[in-house]
Amino acid sequence: MTARERTANTNLWLAIGKRMGIKDLPKDFSELEAFHDAYETAKLRYAPSNIAVLDPLLDMLLGGAPKSMRGPAILVISALCEPRVRESLRFPEPPAWLAPLLTVLLKGRAALVYW
């Protein structure tokens, strides 16, 4: 992330945190990142309610895709998630090569869009 993107990201999440009534919010990106990691480590766990939210979201995201593509699409989504998130949603473990491939593809797309 560029410095400008870090500032924008920090401002976004601080505004969301204020609207949620969270007290003692961090002041900068590094503090926000540490706050986020500590919160996820303490609170992020599997619960049936996670799936109750996930299923309609996946239906919305993948609703127009053929049913045969749902499994591969879920693997792609899983590869884009951090391990803690993947575990909390009981997503399958993606193949080791998928995340690096997606990184290359997304960076290539970004370069084309920028150009």
Q: Is 92 left (phi over 0), alpha (psi -120 to 50) or beta?
A: beta
Q: Where are the domains of the chain?
A: 3-43, 48-114
Q: Looking at residue 42, what is its pLDDT?
A: 92
Q: Looking at residue 11, what is its pLDDT?
A: 92
Query: Is it the case that residue 1 has pLDDT exceeding 80?
Result: no
Give whole-number Cα distances, 110 to 21, 39, 105, 106, in Å.
35, 31, 9, 6
Q: pLDDT tens digits for 56-114?
A: 999 999 988 898 999 999 999 999 999 999 999 999 999 999 999 999 999 999 999 98
Q: Looking at residue 60, what is its pLDDT?
A: 92
Q: Which pTM does this prediction carry?
A: 0.75
